[in-house]
Structure 1
Amino acid sequence: MRSIRQCWRTPASIFFIFGLAGCATLPPEAAAPVASQAPPVFELSGRIAVKYKDQSSSGSLRWQHRPDRDNITILSPLGQTVTQITRDADGVTLIDQAHKVHRAANAEILTQDMLGWRLPLSGLSYWVVGQPVPSLPYHADRNAQQYPTQLMQDGWRVNYSAWQTVDGQGLPRKMTLQRDGLEIRLVMDQWILKAAPQ
C-alpha cells in the first residue's frame, strides 16, 4: 500500500496548473485590510500547491477556522480526500486516506511526519488573512493601499500577489509561503467571514 506521501505526489507540471502565478490585483481602497487582532472566524475554499526538494503536489483545500478549533481538508486534483487535519484543545489529529488517525502536539510535526512537509498552521491562521502573529517579531513590506506585499515572520517568507474584497474587508486571494526549500502556494477562491462565537 502506498504511503500518504506517495498518494499526494503528482507531476511537477501540475504545480502550475491553477495559474498560481500572475499579475497582482488589489481591491478598492475603501476595503480595509483585516486589522491586527485575533484572526476572524472564517471558512475558505481554494487550491494548494506544494513544492519541496524534488517533489511537488497540488489539490484543493477547505478550511474552517475558529479560535478553539481548525478543520482542514486537502483533496487531490480528482476530488478525493487525501487528508483531514483537526486542531483543538487536545492537540492536532490527522486522518489519512486509509482512515487511520495520527496525533501530535502541533500541525508542523504531524504534517512533516505524514506528508513530508510542514504546514505552519499556528502562523497560517493569521497570515492567510494578511496579518502577522501578534506575539512574534516580524517585518512587513506594504503597498500604497497598506496591503502587505511581503511578510517575514518565524523563519517564513510570505508573499501576497493578489487581494480581494469580502464583506468590505481586504483578504488575500493569492499567497506564497517559503522556508528552507519548501514552497506552499495558496489561492483562496471563496471566503465566508463569520461572527466570533460568544
Structure 2
Amino acid sequence: MVRLFRFLPVASLLLLAACAPTRPTAHHEGTVVTMGQQEQREQALADTSHWTLQGKLSVSSDKDSGNGTLTWKQDGDRYDFTIRGPITGRSFRLTGGPEGAQLEGLDGGTRRGPDAETLMAEAVGWQIPMAELKRWVLGLRADTGGADIRFGDDQLPSQLVQDGWTVDYKAWDATKTPAMPSKVFAEKPPFKVRLAIESWQLGK
C-alpha cells in the first residue's frame, strides 16, 4: 500500500484549520421553510455536472495525514482531481469516468482500477466516497439513499449525514446564487476529509 500523502508535512494541517471563516456551529432540524429552500437549491443545481473548484484539501486517518492544493474538474461523468504538495510541488492526479479510473504520480507508476473509490482504497488505503462527494461538495444530498440534513441559523445546511459519513458545512459563500459551500468537513472514522474551497466555476 502506497502512502499517497506521506510527502506532505503533518504540521501544515494546521494551516487549513485557520483558513476560511468558520460559522458558529448550529444544527437545527429542517422546517418547512428550510427544507423548501434546500429543495429549491437541489433543483437549481440538479443538472450541474460541469464545474471546477480550487482550494485546499486535508486528509487524515489513524495512520496517515497530509494536505495540499486541489483542483477538481467535473465534466459530466468524467473527473480530474489533482492534488499538489505545498512544499515539494509534487502532484497526484486522479482521473476517470464510466470506463474506469487511473491514479498518476505514485512511486511505481500509474495505477488503474474500475472506479475512483476502489482505486483509492487499493492503492493508498483511503475510503473516499467520490460519487457521493461530488454532490456533497455542492451542498446536495447524494442519490444513494436516505440522508439526515440539518441547518444553521443562516438557514443553509450545516450538517448532512448519509452513507455512514457526517458532512459538516463550516462556511458558505452567500454571494453566489444559489449559495455554495466554501468549507466542507467530511468524516467517517477513522477517515477525515477537509476541503476549503477558494473558487467555484460552474458550467463548462
**Shorter-chain TM band:** 0.7 to 0.9
The TM-score with structure 2 as length reference comes to 0.81
Report how many residues are paired: 187
1:136 to 145, 152, 166: 145
Map 1:174-193 to 2 at 5 A. Answer: 174-193=183-202
Corresponding position of 1:100: 109
Report matched runs for 1:149-188 at 5 Å. 149-165=158-174, 167-188=176-197
The answer as to whether partners of 1:91 and 1:105 remain within 8 angstroms in 2 is yes
- Counterpart CA distance in 2 for 1:122 and 1:75 is 22
Partner of residue 23, structure 1: 22
Query: TM-score, normalization: structure 1?
Result: 0.83
Residue equivalent to 1:12: 10
Quote the Cα distance in structure 2 between the aligned partners of 1:98 and 1:55: 17
Please give the per-residue CA displacement for 1:37-80, whole angstroms capped at 9, x wherever unaligned: 24442101100011110421010110101222111101111262
Distance 1:100 1:92 in 2: 14
**Equivalent residues in 2 for 1:34-183 (5 A)?**
34-36=41-43, 37-78=46-87, 80-98=89-107, 100-165=109-174, 167-183=176-192
Bigger drift between 146-155 and 9-18 goes to: 9-18
Aligned amino acid, residue 6 of structure 2:
W
Aligned to 1:28: none
Q: What fraction of aligned residue pairs are identical, expressed as a percent? A: 25
Quickly say closer, same or farther: Cα 1:91–1:188, change in 2 above 3 A.
same
CA-to-aligned-CA distance 1:104-128 (integer Å, 9 cap, x gap): 1221221122233222110011000
Question: How much does 1:131 deviate?
Answer: 0.5
**Alignment CA distance shift 1:193-1:99 (3 Å):** farther
Q: Which structure dedicates a bigger proportion of its chain to strand?
A: 1
Deviates more, 1:86-95 or 1:3-12: 3-12
Following TM superposition, by how much is the alpha carbon of 1:10 offset from its aligned partner in structure 2, in angstroms?
A: 3.3
Aligned AA (1:5)? R
Specify whether residues 23 and 88 from structure 1 end up closer, same or farther in structure 2 by C-alpha distance, changes over 3 A only. Answer: closer
Equivalent position amino acid for 1:35 in 2: E
Conserved 8 A contact 1:136-1:154: yes
Contact 1:72 1:86 in 2 (8 A): yes
Tell me the SS of whatever aligns to 1:169.
Answer: coil
AA at the equivalent of 1:10: L
Question: 2: CA distance between counterparts of 1:8 and 1:48?
Answer: 14
Q: Distance in 1 between matches of 2:114 and 2:188?
A: 21
Unaligned runs of 5+ in 2: 25-36
Gaps of 5+ in 1: 26-31
What is the root-mean-square deviation of aligned Cα atoms in Å? Answer: 2.4
* Residue identity in the other structure for 2:12: I
Pair 163,74 (structure 1): closer, same or farther in 2 beyond 3 Å: same
